[in-house]
Amino acid sequence: MIEFENFFEVSFDEEISVATLAIKRRDNRYNSFSPDLIIALKGLLESYDENERVKGVILTSAEKVFSTGADIEGQFHKLDTFGAQRFSHLGQRIFQLLERSQFITMAAVNGFALGGGLEIALACDFRIASTNARFGLPEINLGIMPGWGGTQRLPKLIGPMKALEIILTGEPISAQEAKALGLVLDVVEPDKLMPRAKEYMAKVTRKSRLSLSAVKRAVHGGLSLDIDRGLDLESELFGLLWGSEDRREGLEAFLKKRKPHFRR
């Protein structure tokens, strides 16, 4: 069994129901992604999905580098074609756990977020950055291309033309440019990064976990549907929430002019 302590510093804020996963590879100062690291991440995310206490997860770094992506100096460069495809699929599936989770996710990026480091941030619901953050997909410089969702998520966020420029040049962009493009919500000084991340998360994690999950399903699911099917999905989820205890509590609290106390 892979021990996540070799790759992450984990904490939980009871007040806002948010877990923080700080990437910290003990054997690699660039926090690059090995197969063991992403499998450890899979275990953590699956456990949080089953834990009703967890309404949000912040992914950050315990070092000055967020992540430089796949571990090129490790096993990665030894892969054959089939192995490379399997490694791509593995990362894609695990990053989709962030996108499809029942909790809200945020990447709080400090330092370089390159390759898979940017791709995992793209799979989060929100992103904020410190002033020293840099974002890029440099795979083109190695004669390859992004393989963990970068070619799919980045164009949807910032448009195909700018996404192609970032991917084809392989050049990183600053935190300020990332904000101007809509890639990140906010840019703050490094010492303000985690307080700001928790401040953002607290705005949503005091809501019903059922509602948070339904909104994520509607928004992410709707991106791949036409408007009619997207509206059908919205109605289906709206109906499911209407039958929940949290809906009854929310309406009762509104009518009695008090704060709701959601079960989940």
Give me the residues paired with residue 56 across strands.
18, 104
Active site residue 50: no
Tokens of 230: 């997207």
Q: Which residues contact 263 (CB under 8 A, 6 or more apart)?
A: 245, 246, 249
Residue given tokens 């509206």 in the structure block? 231
Q: How far apart are CA 233 and CA 208, in angstroms?
A: 19
Q: Which residues contact 81 (CB under 8 A, 6 or more apart)?
A: none
Tokens of 142: 């190695």
- Residue of 5, 46, 119, 171 marked active site: 119
- DSSP characters over 131-148: TT-EEE-GGGGGT----S
For 61, phi then psi, to 5°, come to -135, 140
- Residue of 46, 73, 139, 199 marked active site: 139
∠ CA 139-111-43, nearest 5°, is 75
Active site residue 139: yes
Helix extents (H) in 8-149: 35-49, 81-99, 116-122
CB count in 10 Å sphere of residue 100 = 15
Known catalytic residues are: 119, 139
